[in-house]
């Protein structure tokens, strides 16, 4: 079994549970490539922890990927031995520049012979894919898995699973408040008659981004990368920017080990439109596309000239499934660690099904399982997990209220959060209560689809969301994540003005501030609502009963983390921790 990662954009209310992917999945080679997880020294985590710790003398003294690979990755001898072994078995091998994995290619029959599982006895080197590490590579390679050992990723919605947002029902949905701005078609975009969505000027002002724009902080010099499972139509992005009056940053599409980019979809369209509106001065938006996030993450780090300052990821999968494919999880986590060591900040959506993070893909009973589970990769200690809320604004688009996104009992949709079963509590995660495990989210922002974000999308997928496509409203932690990523791109630009390096892994700084007297000034605590969507889970999976939840409360909670950031004030505080150093990339 392999990880059930899927896009976390909530289309009006949620994604169809277990929706099958079409198109992109066909681009993946089924069994002629194997990824070998190479051995890495524990010194990598120690190094990255030291450069991420505001109390350390080495804070923000980042290193290049090449330098970290040289110090902590597989040796030249180990690399050469891997390549020789592959050739001796009629295969070819290439060690990725990250040193995290080697790709072995060849005839499927030859691969099966070379990685045959030893039957009748335990083999600790066997992976969830049924491949075993050959004796000649033990000590060099930790595990082996097919590069296609990932099920269908999807950001598709099935119209039959969508439900109208009705603010009169006891749920978190509300009507739009504040003062929208833009072209008439964008301002009036709606999915529910009479309830149009929030426009960029509104969410940009609500979280302090407009104040940063007034200082000339728009993301200049910053490169942001998306790890994506679908594509986008450039015309949709241009139409959106024209409507809301900003100039688009340069964009690159990088199909990873594919001949063509993915077809356009709602996920990437939403990501780019939110990010570009919030950080219009970016040096570049780079969109890396492949269904296997290991390959896309590695590609983002492969060329020093294009290593991103910020990475935004809107895929999520049940941890209960992730533990069955440890190879993919471990490789991806090592890539996150490397990225943090270069000064890259990674933001990951926590998911859109509240405290119930697991889905059934059975055609007989598609839906969300009534069990508590956090979602990977947001639970990685080397990323910032972004959850979901809803908000109210005054006429000046200032935030006047927040509560947890939870569409229950009308529909299964809500900001995800919970306790990780994969990772222990990181050294930086001090939340005021004892826990031995990683908890998510870290921060949260607008994600509720009622009324949601205005977007423009003409892909066939969006035509299913709203017949005819075009202007519509959506939500999800897929929206809150690039919004927060934009805020940190602006903070990096401010740091660069003072000769400081990037912030890098944000969490140690976020938690340090949250545990200080500055918390009330920098964070907006969320104390209303919970993320139990159980009352909306229908038979046969459940009987509309609560399944356990995380309630918003004063301070940290697993519904919204520390709440939302006042990004302008966070920016000012972050500058006081920076030092003038020259990072090496």
pLDDT tens readout for residues 288-313: 999 999 999 999 999 999 999 999 99
Structure confidence at residue 434 (pLDDT): 75
| Rounded (10°) CA dihedral 209, 215, 221, 227 | 0
Question: 325: pLDDT confidence band, cut at 50, 70 and 90?
Answer: confident
Of 13-27, 126-140, 165-179, 241-255, highest mean pLDDT: 241-255
CA–CA separation, 419 and 32 (whole Å): 37
Average confidence (pLDDT) over 471-481: 95
Q: What proportion of the chain, given as a percentage, has pLDDT over 90?
A: 75
* pLDDT attached to residue 167: 61
Beta strand 470-474 pairing with 418-424: unpaired
Top-confidence residue, 260 or 410: 260
Contact between residue 359 and residue 374 where contact means Cβ atoms under 8 Å apart = no
Pairing assessment for the beta strands 101-105 and 92-95 based on DSSP bridges: antiparallel
Six token digits for residue 582? 């020259």
Give the residue among 14, 77, 76 at the shortest CA–CA distance from 406: 14
Among 518, 347, 349, 508, smallest CA distance to 429 is for: 508
**What are the φ and ψ backbone dihedral angles of 494, each rounded to 5 degrees?**
-60, -40
Predicted local confidence at residue 7, as pLDDT? 58
Query: pLDDT-based confidence at 166, cuts 50/70/90?
Result: low
Q: pTM of this prediction? A: 0.93
Given a cut of 90, whether residue 317 has pLDDT beyond it is no
Averaged pLDDT, 442-457? 96
Phi, then psi, of 136 in degrees rounded to 5: -65, -20
For residue 186, what pLDDT is reported? 98
The larger pLDDT score, comparing residue 580 to residue 69, is at: 69
The Cα 283–Cα 339 span in angstroms is 19
- Separation of alpha carbons 576 and 516, rounded Å: 14
Q: Is 345 helix (H, G, I), strand (E, B) or coil?
A: strand
Decide if 274 contacts 483 (C-beta within 8 A).
Answer: yes
Report pLDDT for 129. 61
Give me the pLDDT at residue 106, please.
Answer: 95
Provide CATH code, domain 6-20+175-577.
Answer: 3.40.50.200
Q: How far is CA 257 from the centre of its chain?
A: 21
Question: What percent of the residues of the chain are helix, what percent strand, and what percent coil, each to the nearest 5?
Answer: 30, 20, 50
How many whole angstroms from its chain centre is CA 370?
A: 23
Give the full edge-to-edge strand order of the sheet including 315-318. Answer: 6-7, 315-318, 375-376
Mean pLDDT of 121-132: 54
C-alpha distances (whole Å) from 516 to each of 45, 427, 440, 510, 573 are 26, 17, 20, 10, 12
Q: CA triplet 248, 25, 191: central angle to 5 degrees?
A: 50
How many other C-beta atoms lie within 10 A of the C-beta of residue 110?
16
pLDDT band with cut points at 50, 70 and 90 for residue 11? very low
Residue 426 has pLDDT above 70, yes or no: yes
Q: pLDDT grade, residue 263 (50/70/90)? A: very high
| Over residues 238-265, mean pLDDT | 96
Q: Does the pLDDT value for residue 195 go beyond 80?
A: yes
pLDDT at 22: 32
């Amino acid at each position: 079994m392999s990880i059930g990662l899927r896009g976390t954009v909530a289309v009006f209310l949620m994604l169809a549970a277990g929706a099958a992917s079409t198109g992109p999945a066909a681009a993946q080679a089924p069994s002629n490539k194997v990824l070998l997880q190479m051995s890495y020294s524990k010194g990598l985590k120690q190094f990255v922890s030291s450069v991420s710790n505001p109390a350390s003398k080495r804070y923000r003294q980042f290193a290049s990927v090449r330098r970290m690979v040289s110090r902590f990755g597989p040796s030249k001898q180990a690399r050469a031995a891997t390549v020789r072994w592959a050739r001796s078995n009629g295969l070819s091998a290439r060690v990725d520049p990250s040193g995290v994995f080697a790709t072995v290619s060849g005839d499927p029959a030859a691969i099966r012979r070379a990685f045959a599982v030893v039957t009748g006895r335990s083999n600790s080197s066997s992976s969830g894919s049924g491949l075993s590490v050959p004796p000649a590579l033990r000590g060099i390679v930790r595990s082996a898995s097919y590069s296609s050992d990932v099920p269908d990723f999807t950001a598709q919605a099935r119209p039959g699973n969508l439900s109208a947002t009705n603010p009169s029902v006891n749920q978190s949905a509300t009507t739009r408040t504040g003062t929208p701005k833009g072209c008439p078609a964008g301002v009036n975009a709606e999915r529910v008659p009479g309830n149009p969505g929030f426009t960029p000027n509104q969410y940009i002002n609500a979280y302090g981004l407009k104040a940063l724009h007034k200082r000339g902080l728009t993301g200049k010099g910053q490169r942001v990368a998306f790890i994506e499972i679908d594509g986008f139509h450039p015309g949709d992005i241009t139409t959106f920017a024209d409507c809301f009056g900003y100039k688009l940053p340069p964009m690159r599409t990088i199909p990873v080990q594919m001949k063509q980019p993915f077809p356009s979809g709602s996920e990437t369209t939403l990501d780019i439109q939110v990010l570009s509106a919030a950080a219009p001065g970016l040096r570049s938006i780079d969109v890396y596309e492949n269904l296997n996030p290991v390959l896309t993450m590695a590609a983002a780090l492969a060329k020093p000239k294009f290593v991103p300052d910020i990475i935004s990821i809107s895929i999520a999968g049940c941890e209960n499934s992730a533990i069955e494919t440890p190879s993919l999880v471990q490789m991806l986590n090592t890539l996150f660690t490397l990225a943090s060591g270069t000064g890259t900040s990674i933001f990951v959506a926590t998911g859109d099904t509240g405290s119930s993070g697991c889905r059934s893909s059975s055609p007989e009973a598609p839906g969300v399982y009534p069990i508590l589970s956090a979602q990977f990769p947001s639970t990685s200690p080397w990323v910032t997990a972004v959850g979901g809320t809803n908000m109210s604004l005054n006429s000046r688009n200032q935030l006047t209220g927040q509560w947890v996104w939870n569409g229950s009992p009308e529909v299964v949709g809500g900001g995800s959060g919970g306790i990780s079963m994969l990772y222990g509590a990181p050294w930086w995660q001090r939340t005021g209560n004892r826990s031995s495990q990683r908890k998510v989210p870290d921060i949260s922002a607008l994600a509720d689809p009622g009324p949601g974000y205005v977007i423009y999308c003409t892909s066939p997928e969006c035509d299913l969301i709203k017949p005819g496509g075009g202007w519509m409203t959506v939500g999800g932690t897929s929206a809150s994540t690039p919004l927060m990523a934009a805020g940190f791109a602006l903070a990096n630009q401010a740091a660069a003005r003072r000769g400081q390096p990037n912030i890098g892994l944000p969490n140690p700084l976020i938690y340090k501030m949250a545990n200080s007297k500055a918390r009330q000034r920098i964070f907006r605590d969320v104390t209303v609502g919970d993320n139990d969507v159980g009352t909306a889970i229908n038979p046969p999976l459940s009987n509309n009963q609560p399944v356990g939840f995380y309630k918003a409360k004063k301070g940290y909670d697993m519904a919204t983390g520390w709440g939302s950031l006042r990004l302008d004030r966070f920016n000012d505080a972050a500058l006081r921790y920076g030092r003038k150093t020259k990072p090496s990339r």
